[in-house]
């Protein structure tokens, strides 16, 4: 049975529903094979209706801005739901909390919070992803972490059932969030500390300038490839193995920051995955440290 036949019972969606859709344009590495089915909901209700009608046997994969993910060259089976640019509502609530839907870029959240006189979220300007992804992995930068400021979240499950949950429902650590299985983040309410608008804006400018100095932002990349081991940094370990500048195909370990792999043009996902394996093996052999991936690798090989 074809994908289209399996989805025939789905409601008439208001967003985009595409078949065999190339995913390279939906990832910051600009690599990856096609999604068998790609859905870009018009908004929250469109997404909920789609999930409620979708066969429970259909695999579902979620993408925001496509950072922190490597899509293999063979593509992704099932349905890929892209929330970036779709679940984009953000508002200041009467109770003083900031409501942010999952598709809002983290950089927009940082600016919005600062402009409304709240501090603490400036670090989000340095995260090249969406709020949904930041919630899913407790994304962080420059000493800040997402879940420090989360007061409540809204989730949807595989059947379109929506719930609201508190942080106590989750086990949160360094780049790790464990919660109720089969639920995905729709939105969050952030409770931040009072701040001064001008100083907050200055802090964001400083963080972005620092990011541009220390990270290869001009090249397609996914952000940090590996988590930092306790008391050390993945970049230092990889650099100590002499791997800065190492290239496979169109993929290269950045000479600016060794925990970044860049697409210099024409890279395939397999090139990047081979570089990841090379770095892990070199660090393990030299230091006895097994580097843990921060990036998610999804899909099938070509």
- Active site residue ranges: 175, 224, 294
Backbone angles phi, psi at 48, to 5 degrees: -60, -45
């Amino acid at each position: 049975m074809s994908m289209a036949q399996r989805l025939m019972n789905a409601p008439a969606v208001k967003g985009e529903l595409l078949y065999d859709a190339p995913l390279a344009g939906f990832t910051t590495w600009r690599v990856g094979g096609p999604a068998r089915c790609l859905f870009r909901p018009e908004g929250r209700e469109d997404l909920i209706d789609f999930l409620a009608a979708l066969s429970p046997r259909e695999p579902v994969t979620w993408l925001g801005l496509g950072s922190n993910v490597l899509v293999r060259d063979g593509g992704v089976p099932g349905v890929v739901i892209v929330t970036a640019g779709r679940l984009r509502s953000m508002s200041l609530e009467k109770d003083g909390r900031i409501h942010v839907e999952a598709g809002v870029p983290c950089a927009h959240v940082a600016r919005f919070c600062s402009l409304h006189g709240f501090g603490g979220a400036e670090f989000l300007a340095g995260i090249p992803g969406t709020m949904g992804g930041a919630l899913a992995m407790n994304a962080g930068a420059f000493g800040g972490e997402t879940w420090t400021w989360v007061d409540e979240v809204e989730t949807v499950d595989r059947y379109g059932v929506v719930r609201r949950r508190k942080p106590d429902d989750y086990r949160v650590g360094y780049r790790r969030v464990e919660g109720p299985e089969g639920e995905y983040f729709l939105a969050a309410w952030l409770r931040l500390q009072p701040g001064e608008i001008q100083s907050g804006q200055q802090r964001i400018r400083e963080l972005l300038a620092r990011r541009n100095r220390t990270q290869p932002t001009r090249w397609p990349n996914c952000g940090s490839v590996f988590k930092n081991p306790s008391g050390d940094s993945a970049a230092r370990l990889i650099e100590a193995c002499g791997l800065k500048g190492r290239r496979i195909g169109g993929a290269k370990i950045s000479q600016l920051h060794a925990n970044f792999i860049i697409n210099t043009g024409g890279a395939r996902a397999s090139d990047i995955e081979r570089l990841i394996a090379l770095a892990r093996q070199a660090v393990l052999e030299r230091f006895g440290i097994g580097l843990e991936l921060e990036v998610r690798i999804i899909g099938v090989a070509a």
